[in-house]
């Protein structure tokens, strides 16, 4: 069986959901086998609920993505396993960018409202410059995230290849209609 994981786009945190006939332990063992076979490039762990695959620490850069796999038993079909995955940045990077977006929004709301109020009352305000400053912060954050995505593009493709080889060995099924 040589099919690809049904990921629609590699642009922003690609996700997938597939089904396999393997048991949890067989799938975990398969992940561990693939990690051992690719130990020169990847590191990570797999337990009964989740698996995390990352670029090895000696090759890791701040912007490299990671693969998170969640393993669950299918409630409707007891002999199938649901495998959900997401390829995205490390949680520290995700949190940092969320903080910067939140900071720019807070600046616009607090200082922007203060500047507008002061302008209405006094006819002038030096705080008006906080609004373009916050917009520039948000724009800079967005551009930095695009640049980080560009830098991580190769690793994103490698993790996508890792997922494809892993799930092709597990003989996955794209949706419930394929499950009999």
pLDDT tens digits, the chain, 180 residues: what are they? 455 665 555 556 788 888 888 888 888 889 999 889 888 888 888 888 899 998 876 666 677 888 899 988 877 777 788 888 888 888 888 899 999 999 999 999 999 999 999 999 998 888 889 899 999 999 999 999 888 888 888 888 888 888 888 888 877 655 444 444
* pTM (2 d.p.): 0.73
Name the nearest CA neighbour of 135 among 111, 152, 158: 111
Token pair of 23 as six digits:
């048991």
Domain boundaries, the chain: 15-89+152-174, 93-149
Say how far apart CA 16 and CA 32 lie, in whole Å.
20
Record: fold of 15-89+152-174: TATA-Binding Protein (3.30.310)
Say how far apart CA 85 and CA 68 lie, in whole Å.
6
Say how far apart CA 50 and CA 24 lie, in whole Å.
10
Residue 60 CB-half CA count within 13 A: 14
Name the nearest CA neighbour of 155 among 37, 62, 69, 65: 65
């Amino acid at each position: 069986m040589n099919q690809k994981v049904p990921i629609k786009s590699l642009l922003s945190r690609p996700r997938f959901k597939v089904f396999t006939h393997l048991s949890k332990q067989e799938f975990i063992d398969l992940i561990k086998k693939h990690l051992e076979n690719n130990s020169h490039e990847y590191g990570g762990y797999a337990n009964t609920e989740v698996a995390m695959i990352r670029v090895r620490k000696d090759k890791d850069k701040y912007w490299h993505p990671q693969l998170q796999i969640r393993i669950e038993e299918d409630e409707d079909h007891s002999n199938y396993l649901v495998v959900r995955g997401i390829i995205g940045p490390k949680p520290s990077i995700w949190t940092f960018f969320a903080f910067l977006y939140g900071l720019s929004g807070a600046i616009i709301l607090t200082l922007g409202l203060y500047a507008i109020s002061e302008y209405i009352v006094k006819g002038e305000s030096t705080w008006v410059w906080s609004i373009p400053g916050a917009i520039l912060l948000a724009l800079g954050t967005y551009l930095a995230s695009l640049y980080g995505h560009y830098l991580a593009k190769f690793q994103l493709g490698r993790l996508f290849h890792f997922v494809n080889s892993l799930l092709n060995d597990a003989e996955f099924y794209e949706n419930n209609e394929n499950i009999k």
